[in-house]
Amino acid sequence: MIFSLIQAQEDTSAAVDTLTKAYSQKWDAASNLQHANPVIKAASSHDLIFIVLGVTLIIWFVLLFFIIRVDNKLGNLEKKMEQSKVKSAS
């Protein structure tokens, strides 16, 4: 039984090594970034969470802007409908 656990661990590490070999050329290309622009340098750094956070915050602010805008337009339409009902009742 202990042998099967060791065999499973070896199989898992073999799969990881296969991925490393398959993508090693792409990762090697990212190591030469002295002449890259600042956006690519920031994206290739280990602080990618801040880029993801920034994009997410932009998306949330845009959604919030559109929700507030639609709410204001709906409020204006409700006021116009109430005014037209008051004029038609008079």
Structure confidence by residue, pLDDT tens digits, 13-62:
555 566 666 666 655 555 666 677 777 776 666 678 888 899 999 999 99
Q: Is residue 38 part of a domain?
A: yes
Report how far apart, in Å, the C-alpha atoms of 67 and of each of 46, 53, 59, 60 are.
34, 21, 12, 11
pLDDT for the residue numbered 61 = 98
Task: Tell me if 42 is assigned to some domain.
Answer: yes
Q: How confident is the model at residue 9 (pLDDT cuts 50, 70, 90)?
A: low
Residue 62 in domain:
no
Question: Is position 18 within any domain?
Answer: no
Within-domain flag for 45: yes
Contact yes or no for 51/42 (Cβ under 8 A): yes
- Phi (first) and psi of residue 32, to 5 degrees: -100, 80
Report whether pLDDT(5) > 70: no
For residue 50, give its domain range: 25-57
User: Domain count of the chain?
Assistant: 1
pLDDT at residue 71 above 90? yes
Considering only residues 1 and 42, tell me which one the structure prediction assigns the higher pLDDT.
42
- Domain assignment present for residue 10? The answer is no
Specify the higher pLDDT residue, 36 or 80.
80
Structural domain includes residue 33: yes
On whether residue 49 sits in a domain, the answer given is yes
